[in-house]
Every structure is written in C-alpha cells, then in structure tokens.
C-alpha cells in the first residue's frame, strides 16, 4: 500500500492556473484549432466503471459546464436522454467538443452495457484514440475486455485511467497487472495513488504521484478545480516508491524505444532519475501511437481527483488525426481497395457513423470527414444508397447544445442537418466528384451482430399506426441493430434488438420521446431455423400478370450444415456463404441455348442479372424457415436446372421460383428450431462461486467451460475479500432471461457478467414443441 503524509513543511508548490473563463470554448473553437491539435477520443469501459462521471468532470474543468453533473442525481450533460437519466446508464454515445490546453477534444462517451455494443462499434471506428476507464475495485471487467478487443480491431492507441481508488478495496497494483494479463497490453505506470496515513483518514485517497515529473498532485477545493503540483522531495514517504516506478517506466520504455535509450546514456549518465521528463513524455507518446504500450493514470473521478492530468495525457499521448494510418475504402463494388490519406485539399470523403432524430431539427447525421472539406450547403452523393443529399447546416456538438459551423475539415467530427436518406454506415462524397460517384467509393461497413430478442409493437388504434410507423423508421435509421418487419401469419409489426434492455429502451423512446400510443408485446427470443435431413424440390413457376405469362422452373437441394463446414472447406468447389449458410449456384446451363427456350432470356437478362436474381431468391428463401418463420442458418443449399421461358419471365419471377423451391426443399428436410447460445462470463467473489456455478450449470442448463481466479502471487492480503473469480460458460439465451437480477440476489449485488451470442444450438424436441406452442398461442 502506498502511503504518504501530506502535511509536509517547506515543499515548493507550483500553482496551476484554473481560470474557467479562459478555457471556455464555443464559437471560436472550430476556427482556432488545426488538425494536429485535434483529438477524436472515445471513453470506453465496462458498465458503471465511471465513464460518464469522468466525462462530466472533464467538461466542468474545461469550462463547458458551470456545475458538476451527477449520475446519481440524473443531471449529467452526457446522459441527456430521459431513459438514460432514469436508469443512470449511458445508452447513446454522446459526442461533445471542448478545448483543453490549446487543443480541440472531440469526445464520445460510449455505453458500457452489452446490449449497446453496436453503439460502441460505431464510435470506435471513427475515433483516433480512446481512454479506458477501469473500476479500481473490480479491476478489468468482462465488458472492458469486449470493448478493448473492439478497439484492438481498429488499432486504437489507448490510455487507461484506474478510477474509484477512493473506495475501500481499491487495488491499483492488481488492476495494472490485469491490464497485462487480461488485456494483453503493456502498462506504463505514469502515476501512483497516494493515501492518507493519519489516524482519522487512514486509507483515504489523498493525492496522485506523477512519476514522470516526480511531483505530488493534490486537489485543494471540494469541486476539484484547484490543485497543486508539488515537487516530490527525498524525505517524502512515497519518494522511494516513486523512484522505483520511474525506474521501471524508463526501463520499459527502453525496451520499445531507441531514442529514450540514447537520452538515458547521453544526457542522463545512465541515471533513471536524470532522464528529462520531456524525453519520457515523448517516448510514451511514440510507443502509445505505435500501440506498443498503454499509459496508466489513476484517481477518483467522483472525488474530483486525477481528471485534469488525464486531460493533459489525452493531449500529450493520444494521436491527432494526422498520426493515424490512412482510412481504407473500396471502389467498384468492393472489388478494389483504396487508401484515403487525410488531406484537406482532396476530394471529400466522409462517413456517417451515427444518426439521431431531433424533434426540432429532424435527422442529425454525425460524420467524420476523412479527406477534403465539407462545406455548408454542399450537394453530396451518398454512395451507399446512391442518392443525392444536401447538407443544409453543419453543427459542432456540445452534448445536447450545438454551434453552427461553416465547414468540417478533414480529421474532424461534426453533424449534418438536412440529409433525408443517409443512415449509419453510409459514405458521402461530393455530388460533382464524378470519379467517386462512378466507382462507388465506400468506406468499410459495420458488421451488425444477429439480434437476440424481438417483440410485437401494437399501436392502440388504427389511427395511431402512422405515427408509430414513422417513429420506428427514425429508430431503425438511428440504430441499424434494430430490425422491423411484419409477421406474415399474424400481420403484426415486430421489432428485434440485441437484448432485453435494448428493446425496453425502444419502448421507452416510442412512448416518451416520440409520444406514440403503442404497447410492446412480450419479449421473445429470436430463434433460428435449420434442417436435420436432406431435401430436394423442383418448383414450377407459372403466372400470368397483366396478360403476360411468366414461366420458370428450378431445382433446389438442401442439407444440414450442423457440423459447420466452413467456406474454406468448400470455397474451391464453388460454394459461397452468407448469413451462416453455404450455397452454390450452378450457372452451367444458363449459357446453354436449349434451356433458353422460345428465345427466353436472350436479349432480356444477362448472365450477371440471372445470377443476381437467383441470389436474391436464395436470400429471400434463407430469411424464413419452415417451423416458425425465423431465418435459416447452418444449411447447405445447391441451386440447379434453372429453366425459364419467354421474355416475360423477369428477374423477379426467377427470384420467386428459387425462394419457393428453397421453402419446399426445406419442408421435406425435417426442419427444426435452433436457439441462440451465449458465451457468458461471470465475475464473482470467492464466497459466491458455489451458488453461481450451481445456478449456471443446473437451472440455467449451461455448460461451465472454465473457472479462473484473478488472484495472483503479488496480491495485497488486505484485499483478499475483493479477489474475483471468473466463470466462463455456454448457456442457452432462453435460460439467461432475468440473469441480471438473479446474479444480483446470488451475490448480494457484487457479481457482474457479460454475454454475447456465439452461435445457435439444437434444443431438443420437447423444448422445441413448447416454444412452437407458445409462439402459436396453442
Ligand atoms: N466511489 C466512487 N464512485 C464512483 C466513481 N466514479 C463513478 N462512481 C459511481 O459509479 C456509478 C457509475 O458511474 P457512471 O459514471 O455512470 O459509470 P459509466 O461507466 O458511465 O456507466 P454506464 O454509462 O452505465 O456504462 C455512479 O454511481 C457513480 O457515482 C469514483 O471515482 N468513486
């Protein structure tokens, strides 16, 4: 345990200026800061780690807000949706711009709950760096690992802030070890927590030691505005620990950075304490930008300790957009890859990464400009929807407040008002950029995970239907992980989402934000369907539409792919994969004259169009299983013997034939239901482990895969009760309903868990029958 006596006489105090008004940052900001002085930063972490509390402090110290927002009082700037304030959680990634030390910070506070992982994914891809907030008591929690991996995918340089060190059980050393062990990242300890040692306040967090500058940082006003940085003298009780930490920091940097080795020998005579702070900071910046290491800071956002140095570290260690690799785009329908270097005097290339609906302004599209300059009133072209759009107004966001700006430059994030059709994930270029329009330039799309739950949306009356429909359109445009469709049997409108909380929020927003008169039915699991045997069907399509006769015939064979043969196993034999299914379209006979009887197809449909029509039919066949109409997965389908007659046989007729043939083949192949299987990672104290394992493997029908303790040899025995055990299990989603409250009662509120869909498993005939009966209301 690090401790120090703060009341030491004769120390040299450096007073740091905290004039709030000088940091106020609104209208002039967008002009005053160049790209190298921009930081597009996300705050990512497990639920409740303190992301919003930390962000609120940042805004206060930067002068954006005049009072400290409090999660527990429901008055934060960042969590401004009613649903967020009521629940005390972040749902929407709020974006805010503010100034700090002559830099512009575009900050996005992301949600920590597993149901909103998509929201994190959307933000992470446009960020240049991230701050990971860790709960210093719980350490590296399960969802932190998930968001860390998301950030890994985009090679985002990161900082870690070990928060909540004011709480009993706060363990800085253990959390740093977990960064190494669980996140496989190299921690660079740049600060140490410092605790009171006197009788009345023993163990309370007093200050932070900066081991780079060798200073004690103390906060001297209740709101954390005033703070002092005092040189750490040799007689201070924490001096020796600070020397050890600085030595370790320089040694670690020397393993990764040659420049610091030169400074160490040439300027510091091989003495770790003589290495200038500025050289250490430069080395930290280099290894952080190269993703070789993660600087670690500490404090307590709630107690207003450590937030200003964290802001300094964002400026000092995280990248500007110019430090990041060029963005990757594709042209010619994703066949060719292209680099988009960040340049202002280049053709515009921007990505819409988020859409929200503002009742007054209409749709607000958040964009990151990767190249060029987006000017107000520009006529844009959306290469994803292939439509023209006009950017009526450009805004800079200060959470829910806004400032109108004339342009968004390359590397910056802003909001466009006036786009009618743009959705999350779309690429925007200038409408007069003929090359980009012609080649269909696209910045990579975001993978949307399969939805796990769905529910019926029931307007109170027929007259309420249009308003509900409009609200659903807004919601799905904002959030691509929501899907709305109509059940063919019941005619009900259904909506699916990532989890129970996700759909609960949709219901809340329909009623409270969009003022719709509607109910949401019971939440149900989004099953998948497959087959257990082989099936074969030849479908004859023969229809007269407006006096024209269209005829086609196609054969489909289907078999189960429960063994999950991969595309790699089959690719060389002409198989392709989509939505977890394998398919092969035998195009051989299309070129054969005798199959184009009566001259059909000749001059009407090209081979490409025929292939596309068959593909569309297959996808429509895959969308609806034969048991309850859930999408198909893990089937292997082959399409052959396509024949069609007469020029009246359109692509639509071919697609319909294929889709019907899939359905017929499936019906004869012993169709069955599959249920979503979850990988559940639960973290509990030692005392609760027995109940939690018994619950997972008994009542919840799970299969426990591993149990691992976060205990290590160097642990602090004082914190033994806080040692966590991590249980990994595979559990059917249907057994995980209400697990949050179940785990809370089993662990007295101390357990936490995260889960994700890992696939779909067979569920046994009895359970399948019960599900079918329930769904059909039998
Ligand atoms: N003791 C203590 N409590 C804290 C600290 N930081 C945050 N909290 C409390 O922890 C709880 C969660 O804080 P949030 O800031 O909402 O956490 P979050 O990570 O934004 O949570 P989500 O947005 O829901 O993922 C609140 O009750 C905060 O008051 C801290 O440094 N010390």
Write the DSSP assignment of 71-95 as a string of letters: GGGT--SSS-SHHHHHHTS--S-EE
Assigned domain for 19 exists = no
pLDDT at 200: 77
Are 352 and 416 members of one domain?
yes
Cα-to-centroid distance, 131 and ligand 1 (Å)? 15
SS3 25: coil
Q: The domain containing residue 392 runs over which residues?
A: 327-443
Cα-to-centroid distance, 462 and ligand 1 (Å)? 44
- Mark the binding-site residues for GTP, compressed into ranges: 45-52, 109-113, 163-166
Rg (CA), the chain: 29
Cα-to-centroid distance, 182 and ligand 1 (Å)? 22
Assigned domain for 482 exists = yes
- Mark the binding-site residues, compressed into ranges: 45-52, 109-113, 163-166
pLDDT at 523: 82
Assigned domain for 26 exists = no
Are 174 and 55 members of one domain?
yes
Choose the final residue of a domain: 271, 286, 317. Answer: 317
Cα-to-centroid distance, 54 and ligand 1 (Å)? 8
- Verify whether ligand 1 is closer than 6 Å to residue 301 (CB atom): yes
Assigned domain for 460 exists = yes
Assigned domain for 3 exists = no
Choose the final residue of a domain: 500, 525, 550. Answer: 525
Compute how many other C-beta atoms are within 10 angstroms of the C-beta atom of residue 368.
25
Compute how many other C-beta atoms are within 10 angstroms of the C-beta atom of residue 49.
27
Q: What is the pLDDT of residues 23-60, one digit of tens each?
A: 333 333 444 557 788 999 998 888 788 988 998 899 88
- What is the CATH number for 59? 3.40.50.300
State CA 531 to chain mean position distance. 33
pLDDT at 763: 87
pLDDT at 12: 32
- Verify whether ligand 1 is closer than 6 Å to residue 89 (CB atom): yes
Side-chain-side CA neighbours of 504 within 13 Å: the count stands at 11
Cα-to-centroid distance, 582 and ligand 1 (Å)? 45
Are 90 and 191 members of one domain?
yes
Backbone phi, psi, residue 63, to 5°: 85, 10
Nearest CA to ligand 1 atom 24: 89
Are 294 and 338 members of one domain?
no
* Domain count along the chain: 5
Strand pairing class (129-135; 38-44): parallel
- Verify whether ligand 1 is closer than 6 Å to residue 117 (CB atom): no
- What is the CATH number for 680? 3.30.70.240
- Verify whether ligand 1 is closer than 6 Å to residue 43 (CB atom): no
Cα-to-centroid distance, 53 and ligand 1 (Å)? 6
Assigned domain for 335 exists = yes
Backbone phi, psi, residue 677, to 5°: -105, 135
Choose the final residue of a domain: 443, 470, 488. Answer: 443
Are 623 and 737 members of one domain?
no
SS3 568: helix
- Verify whether ligand 1 is closer than 6 Å to residue 53 (CB atom): yes
pLDDT lower than 50: segments of the chain: 1-31, 591-603, 712-721
Assigned domain for 598 exists = no
Residue 201, token pair as written in the block: 């306040």
Are 270 and 418 members of one domain?
no
- What is the CATH number for 428? 2.40.30.10
Are 307 and 336 members of one domain?
no
SS3 213: coil
Are 167 and 254 members of one domain?
yes
Nearby residues of 336 by Cβ (< 8 Å), 6 or more positions away: 330
Are 473 and 542 members of one domain?
no
Are 358 and 497 members of one domain?
no
- What is the CATH number for 509? 3.30.70.870
Q: What is the ipTM of this complex?
A: 0.98
CB 472 within 8 Å of CB 493: yes
- Verify whether ligand 1 is closer than 6 Å to residue 52 (CB atom): yes
Assigned domain for 485 exists = yes
Q: Which residues of 2-22 are buried (b: 16+ CB within 10 A; e: fewer)?
A: bbbebeeeebeeeeeeeeeee
Nearest CA to ligand 1 atom 2: 164
- Verify whether ligand 1 is closer than 6 Å to residue 45 (CB atom): yes
pLDDT at 587: 66
pLDDT at 446: 67
d(CA 613, CA 619): 10
* Best of 44, 48, 304 for a ligand 1 pocket test (most atoms within 8 Å of beta carbon): 48
Are 693 and 736 members of one domain?
yes
CB 305 within 8 Å of CB 219: yes
Are 37 and 182 members of one domain?
yes
- What is the CATH number for 573? 3.30.230.10
* Best of 43, 52, 754 for a ligand 1 pocket test (most atoms within 8 Å of beta carbon): 52
Nearest CA to ligand 1 atom 4: 302
Nearby residues of 284 by Cβ (< 8 Å), 6 or more positions away: 188, 190, 212, 253, 293, 295, 316, 317
Q: Which residues pair with 298 in a beta bridge?
A: 162
- Verify whether ligand 1 is closer than 6 Å to residue 680 (CB atom): no
Report the run of H or E that residue 388 belongs to, with start and end. strand 387-390
Which of 441, 447, 433, 443 shows the shortest CA–CA distance to 383? 441
Cα-to-centroid distance, 133 and ligand 1 (Å)? 10
Residue 79 CA: nearest ligand 1 atom is 23
d(CA 103, CA 313): 12
d(CA 537, CA 557): 7
């Amino acid at each position: 345990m690090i401790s120090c006596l703060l009341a030491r006489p004769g120390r040299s105090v450096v007073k740091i200026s905290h004039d709030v008004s000088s940091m106020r940052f609104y209208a002039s900001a967008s002009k005053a800061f160049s790209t190298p002085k921009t930081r597009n930063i996300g705050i990512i972490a497990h639920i409740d780690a303190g992301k919003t509390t930390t962000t609120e402090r940042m805004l206060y110290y930067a002068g954006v807000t005049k009072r400290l927002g409090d999660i527990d009082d429901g008055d934060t700037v960042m969590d401004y949706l009613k649903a967020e304030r009521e629940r005390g959680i972040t749902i929407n990634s709020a974006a805010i711009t503010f100034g700090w030390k002559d830099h512009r910070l575009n900050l996005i506070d992301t949600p920590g709950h597993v149901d909103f992982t998509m929201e994190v994914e959307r933000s992470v891809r446009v960020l240049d760096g991230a701050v990971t907030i860790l709960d210093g008591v719980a350490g590296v929690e399960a969802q932190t690992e998930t968001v860390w991996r998301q950030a890994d995918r985009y090679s985002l340089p990161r900082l870690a802030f070990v928060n909540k060190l004011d709480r009993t059980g706060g363990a800085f050393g253990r959390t740093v070890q977990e960064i190494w062990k669980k996140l496989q990242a190299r921690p660079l300890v740049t600060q140490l927590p410092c605790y009171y040692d006197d009788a009345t306040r023993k163990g309370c967090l007093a200050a932070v030691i900066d081991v780079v500058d060798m200073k004690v940082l103390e906060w001297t006003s209740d709101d954390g505005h005033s703070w002092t940085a005092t040189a750490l003298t040799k007689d201070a009780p924490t001096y020796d620990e600070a020397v050890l930490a600085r030595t370790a920091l320089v040694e670690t940097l020397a393993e990764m950075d040659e420049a610091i080795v030169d400074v160490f020998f040439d300027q510091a005579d091989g003495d770790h304490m003589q290495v200038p702070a500025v050289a250490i900071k430069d080395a930290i910046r280099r290894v952080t930008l190269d993703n070789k290491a993660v600087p670690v800071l500490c404090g307590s956002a709630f107690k207003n300790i450590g937030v200003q140095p964290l802001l300094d570290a964002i400026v000092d260690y995280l990248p500007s957009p110019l430090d990041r690799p060029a963005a990757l785009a594709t042209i010619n329908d994703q066949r060719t890859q292209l680099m988009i270097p960040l340049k202002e005097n280049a053709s515009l290339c921007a990505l819409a990464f988020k859409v929200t609906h503002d009742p007054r302004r209409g749709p607000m599209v958040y964009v990151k400009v990767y190249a060029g300059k987006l000017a107000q009133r520009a006529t844009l072209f959306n290469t994803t929807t292939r439509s023209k759009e006009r950017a009526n107004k450009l805004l800079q966001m200060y959470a829910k407040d806004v400032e109108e700006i004339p342009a968004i430059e390359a590397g910056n994030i802003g909001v466009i008002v006036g786009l009618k059709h743009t959705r999350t994930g779309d690429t925007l270029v200038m409408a007069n950029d003929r090359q980009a329009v012609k080649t269909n330039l696209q910045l990579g799309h975001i993978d949307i995970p399969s939805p796990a739950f769905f529910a019926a949306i029931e307007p109170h009356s027929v007259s309420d239907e249009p308003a509900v429909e409009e609200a659903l359109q807004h919601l799905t445009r904002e959030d691509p992980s929501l899907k709305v469709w109509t059940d063919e049997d019941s005619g009900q409108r259904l909506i699916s989402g990532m989890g129970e909380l996700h759909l609960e929020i949709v219901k809340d927003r329909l009623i409270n934000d969009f003022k719709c008169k509607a109910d949401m039915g019971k939440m149900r699991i989004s099953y998948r369907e497959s087959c257990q045997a082989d099936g074969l069907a030849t479908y004859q399509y023969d229809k007269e539409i407006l006096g024209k006769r269209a005829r086609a015939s196609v054969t489909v064979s289907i078999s189960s792919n429960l063994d999950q043969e991969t595309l790699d196993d089959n690719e060389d034999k002409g198989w392709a994969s989509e939505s977890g299914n394998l398919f092969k379209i035998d195009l051989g006979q299309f070129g054969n004259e005798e199959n184009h009887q009566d001259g059909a197809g000749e001059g009407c449909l090209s081979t490409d169009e025929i292939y596309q029509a068959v593909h569309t039919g297959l996808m429509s066949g895959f969308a609806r299983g034969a048991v309850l109409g859930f999408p198909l997965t893990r089937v292997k389908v082959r399409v052959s013997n396509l024949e069609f007659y007469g020029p009246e046989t359109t692509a639509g007729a071919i697609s319909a034939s294929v889709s019907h043939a899939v359905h017929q083949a499936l019906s004869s192949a012993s169709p069955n239901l599959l249920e979503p299987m979850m990988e559940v990672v639960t973290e509990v104290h030692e005392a609760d482990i027995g109940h939690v394992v018994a619950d997972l493997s008994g009542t919840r029908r799970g299969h426990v895969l591993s149990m691992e303790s976060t205990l290590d040899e160097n642990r602090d025995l004082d914190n033994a009760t806080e040692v966590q055990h991590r249980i990994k299990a595979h559990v059917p989603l249907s057994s995980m309903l209400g697990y949050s409250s179940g785990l809370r009662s089993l662990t007295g509120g101390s357990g936490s868990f995260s889960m994700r869909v890992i696939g779909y498993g067979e569920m046994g005939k009895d359970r399948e029958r019960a599900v079918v009966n329930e769904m059909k209301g039998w």
